[in-house]
Structure 1
Amino acid sequence: MLNSLGDLRNVLVHGEGNDIIAIPSEAAVSTLIAIVEKYASPTPLYNMINHKVVRTQSDRSLADALILMRKHDYTKIPVYNGHTYIGLLSGNIVARWMANHIEESGEIKESLKDVTLETLLTLYEKTDTVVFIPKDMDIYDFIRLSRKQKSKLSLYIMTQTGDRNEKPLGIITAYDYPRLLHELEL
């Protein structure tokens, strides 16, 4: 329907003379009104995202983190030192660490319980970027922001003001994009 409305707009704007050449239907007018209302009063992003942020602390062991990842079926978990964000633990970091610590026999050189996440995050990948966003961001601002990201973004973490060291209020991953885009539909 949007393509038809665009065609109608072009005819109305670019038509010649003062003659009425088309009268929009009630359905077309209703659709246009819905579009204007949806854009004028966007849904707060906070109302659309997962508020259950699974995170861990930097002094926890790799074994603890893997159990947490398995329990929640996540491949990436934010890591904090108290309230200070220090990095993103990803399955790729774990694989890189294991590749560097495996014996020819297949045994791991070090116990997973003895490896802290702080140590593991020295293998942090520059491609695992995290963007912190404020609670008052709306869906349209989020879409604009996500289009500007040049690197492969791992996730967005929402805090009260967008400061990385505030309590996380929500999280957005690539898995959430289809649902968020669906919210933009009429």
Structure 2
Amino acid sequence: MLTSSKDIKNAERFEVAFNQIHEALKRIVKIKDDRFTVLVRVGSKHHQIIDTYKEDLEQYAKLRNSLVHDKVEIGYYIAEPHTNIVEHIEKIATIFKRPNHALSIATKNVIFFQEEDHIQKVIQGIKRFSYSQYPIYRGKRCIGLLTTESIVKWMATNIADSKVELTNILVSDIMQYEKAHPISFVPKSINIFEIEELFEEAHKTRSTLEAVIITENGQPDQVPLGIITAWDLIEIDYTID
């Protein structure tokens, strides 16, 4: 049964939300083919948020085609989307239009050390926080990451009679065993999509971005406000119901 123009609120709301998502996908995925389903398929490979809603978006594309292409008159729709469907696609559109700031998924309690700190201070930090990597600073500037793996390597190299002497050992001594860990510094205004793009660009160049450190304006000499690793992106929960 056809729906009259005065009763098409849900259909119109659905179309508006669908078009908003389509425009957002064009901005996010950035490929020459701007077909909705292609953007969803390609984008789902690189963006967790798109992958989360991939099946829903593919179904909504079919429904949208039915609503738009099966019209028989202006102001009439072949079907009326259920209110639950409309509300769900509108919520997805809101997420795509205004993605959360990266700080929303970052580890905000950033534990960092100075290169002249005693290694025992770091070990106490590991015991308390159980993180596997810690930004190291020279004064106000971050100079790299210290990992628990390198601490273990140093200990293995310096063990004698089943003991490791930590007296007078500084972070700088351990950093000599540390390989270079690519880090990016970004401003607190950056959003989740932009963070995902940083990791994706690093992957394209066959390099591994170990961490993204968020500061006020993206400067390495500013206090770290949050830190994000690739695992943080994988574990994002985009559930909206």
Structure 2 equivalent of residue 145 of structure 1 = 198
Structure 1: unaligned runs, 5 residues or longer: none
Q: For 1:154 and 1:47, locate their aligned partners in 2 and report how far apart those are by CA, in whole Å.
A: 19
Structure 2 equivalent of residue 46 of structure 1 = 103
How far apart are 1:173 and its partner, in Å? 3.2
Structure 2 equivalent of residue 33 of structure 1 = 90
Specify which structure has the higher proportion of helix. Answer: 2
How far apart are 1:94 and its partner, in Å? 0.9
Structure 1 equivalent of residue 175 of structure 2 = 121
Deviates more, 1:29-38 or 1:55-64: 29-38
Structure 2 equivalent of residue 8 of structure 1 = 63
Q: For 2:141 and 2:71, locate their aligned partners in 1 and report how far apart those are by CA, in whole Å.
A: 65
Deviates more, 1:47-56 or 1:161-170: 47-56
Q: For 2:70 and 2:80, locate their aligned partners in 1 and report how far apart those are by CA, in whole Å.
A: 16
What is the percentage of aligned positions where both structures have the same residue?
Answer: 25
Higher RCO (CA 8 Å, separation ≥ 6 residues): 1
How far apart are 1:134 and its partner, in Å? 1.0
Closer, same or farther in 2 for the Cα pair 1:43/1:17, shift >3 Å?
closer
Coordinate RMSD, CA, aligned: 2.4
Map Cα deviations across residues 142-185 of structure 1 (whole Å, 9 max, x no partner). Answer: 22223323233332210011111211111223453345x21x33
Which amino acid in 1 is paired with 2:92?
I
Corresponding pairs, count: 179
- Structure 2 residue 216 is matched with structure 1 residue 160: yes
Q: For 1:17 and 1:47, locate their aligned partners in 2 and report how far apart those are by CA, in whole Å.
A: 42
Which of 112, 124, 129 pairs up with 2:166? 112
Q: For 1:59 and 1:142, locate their aligned partners in 2 and report how far apart those are by CA, in whole Å.
A: 31
How far apart are 1:21 and its partner, in Å? 4.1
Q: For 2:197 and 2:134, locate their aligned partners in 1 and report how far apart those are by CA, in whole Å.
A: 25
Is the 1:46–1:170 Cα contact (8 Å) retained in structure 2? yes
SS state at 1:166 partner: coil
SS state at 1:158 partner: strand
Structure 2: unaligned runs, 5 residues or longer: 1-55
- Structure 2 residue 159 is matched with structure 1 residue 99: no
Q: For 1:17 and 1:171, locate their aligned partners in 2 and report how far apart those are by CA, in whole Å.
A: 50
Structure 1 equivalent of residue 4 of structure 2 = none
How far apart are 1:140 and its partner, in Å? 2.0
Closer, same or farther in 2 for the Cα pair 1:120/1:49, shift >3 Å?
same
Structure 2 equivalent of residue 136 of structure 1 = 189
Is the 1:54–1:78 Cα contact (8 Å) retained in structure 2? yes
Deviates more, 1:55-64 or 1:141-150: 141-150
Q: For 1:175 and 1:141, locate their aligned partners in 2 and report how far apart those are by CA, in whole Å.
A: 16
Q: For 1:48 and 1:119, locate their aligned partners in 2 and report how far apart those are by CA, in whole Å.
A: 33
Map Cα deviations across residues 64-117 of structure 1 (whole Å, 9 max, x no partner). Answer: 2111111111121111122111121101111221222234x4333xx2132211
Closer, same or farther in 2 for the Cα pair 1:106/1:6, shift >3 Å?
same
